[in-house]
Structure 1
Amino acid sequence: MRELGAHLLRWHAAGASYVLATVVGVTGSAPRPPGATMAVDAEGNIRGSLSGGCVEGAVLELCGRVLETGEPVREIFGYSDSDAFAVGLTCGGELEILVHRITPDRYPIVEAVLDADGGPVALVRDLESGAMLALRPDSVVGPDADPTLVARARAMLDTASTAVRVIGCADRERTVFIESFAPPPRMLVFGATDFTTALCRVGRLLGYHVTVCEARPAFADPARMPDAHEVVREWPNTYLARTHVDARTVICVLTHDPKFDIPVLVEALRRPVAYVGAMGSRRADRERRLRLRAAGLGEEQLRRLRSPIGLELGGQTPEETAVAIGAEIVAVRRGGSARPLSVTDRPIHPGGLVSGGTQAEQLATG
């Protein structure tokens, strides 16, 4: 929808009503992904595309109906439908389209998505009522901000996910389309070891863009870490000082070598990132913390350090250790207790747990 921003803002300035037709589901082969949007105003002006021309004609009829009634419509177009060839979608897939009307009272919600200055923002649309809200990491624009809905949407925004979700809210179970406008969060892994190779797989699974930084040329080989999105050969603290991080970034220091660890941890613990963990024994951790204090870090900064890294799962292999690290990252970022669900009585998906919530109790791999 952001690519239509200039057109939509002109319609807003004119006080026009219009409809948004959005791909909310794709099955099989289809020309455009979920989130593809077409806008149509009362004069029949069309902006954007849903399928490169396959279904636009049929959807245009739905747009006219929704402009008149204000009632949102969901419809599926696919190869198996009796009118598949009529609409031209012969690629073998199916598109589920949501069409809903935008009136001036909803302008602020649309503009919150368009005016995000490239920052992360999610647009949440109720597939039954057409109700909308825009959600940023620290604010919500729109009515009916159910806490569970907001928490689930923030979790999806955090991983830059776009999908239909069924969410149990306070008043009813809602089927919503959550569309994220954000790059994926970053996982920065310092040191290329067997543990790194396994952690790259876990990082990808959790939705991170994974970067491995390794200063030693012999180890900085992308072939050793096929699941990393990129491998950088550079001194760790130098790379961290120049690269972009934000409140969603997680940093894992696996070099287990003070000449690398100390400078990069000093830099990491001074940055506003979500998680900083470092591998090593308990003895190494004690020595590391002494060195970090000597380097000028205070106790509040040191409390952010997850060292030894990961939850105490009893794992032995690099893969099991990577799972323990990934689990700790999830617990820290979502405010989980890191205790078995079988011994807790909280809701499994509490509405109040959001990104940046209370950190889980530190359980070391040691």
Structure 2
Amino acid sequence: MLNIADTLYNWCREARPFALATVIQVSGSAPLPPGTALAVDTDGQVVGSISGGCVEGAVYELCQQVLVDHGTPARARFGYSDDDAFAVGLTCGGEIDVLVQRVEPTAQPHLTMALEEAVSGRPIALAQIVDGPEHLLGRTLSLLGDGSAYDGTLGGENEDRAVAAQARALLRAGRTARVEVGGDADTCPEKLSVLVHTHATRPRMLIFGAIDFAAALSQAGHFLGYRVTVCDARPVFATPARFPHADEIVVDWPHRYLEHTEVDARTALCVLTHDAKFDIPLLRLALGLPLGYIGAMGSRRTHDHRLDALRETGVPEDQLARLHSPIGLDLGAHTPEETALSITAEIIAHANHGTSLPLSRGTGPIHHPAPDSHTSATRTAVQRPPGSPDQRHPGYP
């Protein structure tokens, strides 16, 4: 539901009841992930989308019915039927389960606060019961900030504590996922399936080297939702005028800046300096940190020399295996803009466990399930299929 947080927040502030349709489970190839929502208010206004248009009409009717009934939430499954060409379903061949519930903002004041946090860009996790006893369906619990406190209830203190613990981990990872709790007669007798929606702070992209490639990469990173920092030790190059899309420009030695800045498992670090006096101290430090992606620009010869230098400083082989160098995917890039696409494509593939192959050469579902948060944080290298092309970048011998 956080995909439409701004509108829902306004409706909650106005105490306007609405029907909320949430994708609670996806099977096979489907256009949008769990947690995506569509809402309809009592005037018939609609916001959001759950399928890119395939089943919106049917879901809209369900929402209107739930608003009229004032009663039990409705559940529906939409898929593709070869038997009935006129049936409502997903043309992509997958299946989605949808929960439709009536929301009374005055009965859930914590929901207004949670939506306000999301609209303001602050971290929030919102847990929603999507399967379990009928009288509990749709109940929500919210965690603000670092998740140390929660508001709302899912039915009981034990259930709330159990869900809050899992929601904190998902919030740290910035991942929306479904969790199961309960079924234990001694602690949580009610077995519940809970969808935890998360709105985490923007992940960071750290770009070292104030060059033309960095200007293009900062724009691409900004477009993808990263909080972009460009760092260079040379003040004449590291200026806001040269990097209008960066959130932060830092004049400092790269390794010294990295030592004192905050990073996490979602941070992408891109070294574009192509200068050993900057690269080696920076990469030696970076490869020992829990970063999501570490890439360095340069030719294959530069890469080999760089690895030798890092080994001499004591960097172990398992850490060197985390380094993506030469940086990016082989798109045949020549311009800084094309190279920026090459780099961000590799970052996306790494984060989502993609193969980096053309979809036309693959089989199976197009849409992959969200990666496990632990796997994402600890995975060390993109696995390229045998025979996939090498990476090249212009301007380096």
| Short-chain TM bin | 0.5 to 0.7
| Cα distance per residue 1:158-194 (max 9 Å; x no partner) | 389xxxxxxxxxxxxxxx9975342100000001110
The equivalent of 2:9 in structure 1 is: 36
Q: Give the distance between the partners of 1:75 and 1:235, measured in 2 at CA.
A: 54
- RMSD (CA atoms): 4.5
- Residue 296 of structure 1: how far off its partner (Å): 1.0
In the alignment, is the contact (CA less than 8 A) between 1:23 and 1:36 conserved in 2?
no
- CA distance 1:336–1:76, change in 2 (3 Å): farther
Q: Give the distance between the partners of 1:278 and 1:304, measured in 2 at CA.
A: 11
Q: How does 1:1-366 map to 2 (within 5 A)?
A: 25=4, 33-34=6-7, 36=9, 50-51=12-13, 55-56=14-15, 58-59=16-17, 75=41, 98-99=103-104, 122-123=125-126, 125=128, 130=138, 158=174, 179-351=197-369, 353-354=371-372, 356-357=375-376, 359-361=381-383, 363-366=390-393
- Residue 307 of structure 1: how far off its partner (Å): 0.5
- Opposite residue 125 of structure 2, the aligned amino acid is A
Q: Give the distance between the partners of 1:320 and 1:282, measured in 2 at CA.
A: 19
Q: SS at the partner of 1:36?
A: helix
- Residue 201 of structure 1: how far off its partner (Å): 1.1
- Opposite residue 75 of structure 1, the aligned amino acid is D
Q: Give the distance between the partners of 1:155 and 1:310, measured in 2 at CA.
A: 28
The equivalent of 1:166 in structure 2 is: none
Q: Give the distance between the partners of 1:195 and 1:351, measured in 2 at CA.
A: 32
- Opposite residue 130 of structure 1, the aligned amino acid is G
Q: Give the distance between the partners of 1:223 and 1:260, measured in 2 at CA.
A: 23
Q: Give the distance between the partners of 2:141 and 2:367, measured in 1 at CA.
A: 21
In the alignment, is the contact (CA less than 8 A) between 2:171 and 2:199 conserved in 1?
no
In the alignment, is the contact (CA less than 8 A) between 2:173 and 2:266 conserved in 1?
no
- Residue 34 of structure 1: how far off its partner (Å): 4.8
Q: Give the distance between the partners of 2:221 and 2:372, measured in 1 at CA.
A: 19
Q: Structure 2: any 5+ residue segments left out of the alignment?
A: 20-38, 47-101, 132-136, 144-153, 160-165, 177-193, 385-389
In the alignment, is the contact (CA less than 8 A) between 1:309 and 1:364 conserved in 2?
yes
Q: SS at the partner of 2:311?
A: helix
Q: Give the distance between the partners of 1:197 and 1:276, measured in 2 at CA.
A: 18
- CA distance 1:123–1:239, change in 2 (3 Å): same
- CA distance 1:207–1:224, change in 2 (3 Å): same
TM-score between both structures, scaled by the size of structure 2: 0.55
Q: Give the distance between the partners of 2:343 and 2:220, measured in 1 at CA.
A: 9
251-260 or 349-358, which moves further after superposition?
349-358
In the alignment, is the contact (CA less than 8 A) between 1:278 and 1:308 conserved in 2?
yes
- Residue 269 of structure 1: how far off its partner (Å): 0.4
In the alignment, is the contact (CA less than 8 A) between 1:269 and 1:276 conserved in 2?
yes
- CA distance 1:267–1:34, change in 2 (3 Å): farther
| Cα distance per residue 1:202-236 (max 9 Å; x no partner) | 10121110000111011011110110011011110
- Opposite residue 320 of structure 1, the aligned amino acid is E
- Opposite residue 333 of structure 1, the aligned amino acid is A
- Residue 156 of structure 1: how far off its partner (Å): 12
TM-score between both structures, scaled by the size of structure 1: 0.60
- Residue 318 of structure 1: how far off its partner (Å): 0.4
Q: Give the distance between the partners of 2:172 and 2:41, measured in 1 at CA.
A: 24
- Opposite residue 204 of structure 2, the aligned amino acid is R
Q: Structure 1: any 5+ residue segments left out of the alignment?
A: 1-21, 27-32, 38-48, 63-72, 81-96, 136-141, 144-149, 161-175
- Residue 312 of structure 1: how far off its partner (Å): 0.7
Q: Give the distance between the partners of 2:268 and 2:105, measured in 1 at CA.
A: 38
The equivalent of 2:30 in structure 1 is: none
- Residue 100 of structure 1: how far off its partner (Å): 7.4
Paired residue total: 261
Q: Give the distance between the partners of 2:321 and 2:254, measured in 1 at CA.
A: 21
Q: SS at the partner of 2:216?
A: helix
